[in-house]
Amino acid sequence: MPQELSGADILVQALCDLGVDHVFGYPGGAVLPIYDALFRQNRIKHILVRHEQAATHAAEGYARSTGKPGVVLVTSGPGATNAVTGITDALLDSIPMVVITGQVATHLIGTDAFQEADTIGITRHCTKHNYLVKDPAQLGAVVHEAFHIATSGRPGPVVIDIPKDVQVATAAYRAPGTIRHKTYRPQVKPEQGLVEAAVEMLAAAERPILYTGGGVINSGPCASMLLHELARATGAPVTSTLMGLGAFPASSGQWLGMLGMHGTYEANMAMHDADLMVCLGARFDDRVTGRLDAFSPRSKKIHVDIDRSSINKTVRVDLGIVGDVGRTLEDMVRIWKARGHQKNDLSAWWRRIAEWRAKDCLDFPEDGGEIMPQRAIRALYEASKARKPIVTTEVGQHQMWAAQHFGFERPNRWLTSGGLGTMGYGLPAAIGAQIGNPRALVIDIAGEASIQMNIQELATATQYRLPVKVFILNNEYMGMVRQWQDLTYDGRHAESYSAALPDFVRLAEAYGWTGLRIERPDELDGGIATMLDTPGPVLVDCRVAKLANCLPMIPSGAAHTEMILQADQVSGTMADEAKALV
């Protein structure tokens, strides 16, 4: 007979059975039985963050860098509501995460009891699924099912809300076998006839482009290798969404750079002029497509996605394939070889791409007096690339500069908030990544505004002796907001200037970090070297040009062919062009 356990012990035993080694959380009254159960075991390590939002972002960073689901534990009421931002972030970016929330006792639900919130109602639209468990006998099965849902199909967050009395009550626990959900059965293997049709379309294309997204990374490291093999076999150029960076090596001659609003000129123009676009694990986000009626207007379109609802949701395609991207790429490569296909003569297509590349759209002006943020990112990349760092970011100009100028060669090395654009993501995500990869170099590229959203997590890194490096591009502005105000609001900088910034060096030291400041171009290389060579956590306040703009850029609602380039800024036409386009 299975042993009778408390609900809290059932939860902890189920987590152990599922291979969970770390939980990110913050205690409170409604989860004290669970915390006591964690205290009485030694298999799962709890990471105490300083804010529940940070727990979710740390779990995201852990999940994205390791490929394993992140686990969060927070209390009821404000604990749960503070986690909602990170839960939504994980949903939009397809990150596997299980969030365990405490709830008031079952007989108090609906009475507006102390720290009661309708967690199930609040999270219904920002989770893949959520549970309110009222019977401890069901808790073990629910936990196993929650992990199955979070990690299978299109990954995402699942919430388990557990009333306090259920945590105390006892029931038998037996680990279930293979989870077979009655209704949730994502299609992993693609239909072979559709894959064969896709291969024939690719073999016939004269101007193909492979458009890759975060789904390639979520599918596992084999998917990235298969993508490289397909690109090599077909000779097609490759571009990526923000979330897909690292799935294809940036050093490859077939890499065009990132696509979309702050993507490269050559990637956007190739997408516009392609005759075949193969979308692999991306969802046609508005930041990628620009104006929909002008998106890749001359191409046949193939869309591969494990999420059936994503196909034909935003962009109508000629061929939709439901299935895991890795499995689909495996079949495409196998069929391509079996049918003896050779590379098409794409020389004319590559000559046109070379003309677009010749614009050197990521170049930027330098006068020697100020540190240009692009130069700072390139210097950081050159100094750290041999160590294959894991890079997280906050959200803003610095995020896009990092995407443009930091070359990623491997998957699971680029962690950023894409769909939700969550300021405050980078520091806790770096902490989670460092927990999951204790020997890795982890760098959070930050802005002085975003870093303050969760700056209290400096204490978390100190407590667990995590050697995270934070590299702040400090221009004293909410830079992306200021850039849009210059473009479309006649330079009226309404509340985008930070007039009362802290001394980041002294603040870092107060938290037990090493603090450094870089103020001149001739200090850049030495300051970065010091950051990388200093043991333990280090924060760098790098003072960069205040009014630098993140270019190239497609204004909202414009087409890929209507990019604003650095030359437009130099000639003084940038704001005029933006106003004409929006």
**Annotated catalytic sites, by residue?**
52, 114-115, 164, 480
Tokens of 185: 């059965």
CA pair distance 226, 333, nearest whole angstrom: 7
Burial 307-317 (b: 16+ CB within 10 A, else e): beebbeebbeb
Tokens of 370: 């100020």
CA pair distance 353, 350, nearest whole angstrom: 5
* C-alpha separations of 448 from 90, 282, 343, 439, 502 in Å: 24, 31, 48, 27, 9
3-class secondary-structure state, position 446: strand
Amino acid at 382: E
CA pair distance 227, 224, nearest whole angstrom: 5
Amino acid at 517: R
Max CA separation in the chain (angstroms): 80
26: nearest Cα among 454, 397, 384: 454
* C-alpha separations of 462 from 165, 396, 536, 537 in Å: 35, 26, 8, 7
Dihedral sign computed on CA atoms, order 136, 137, 138, 139 = positive
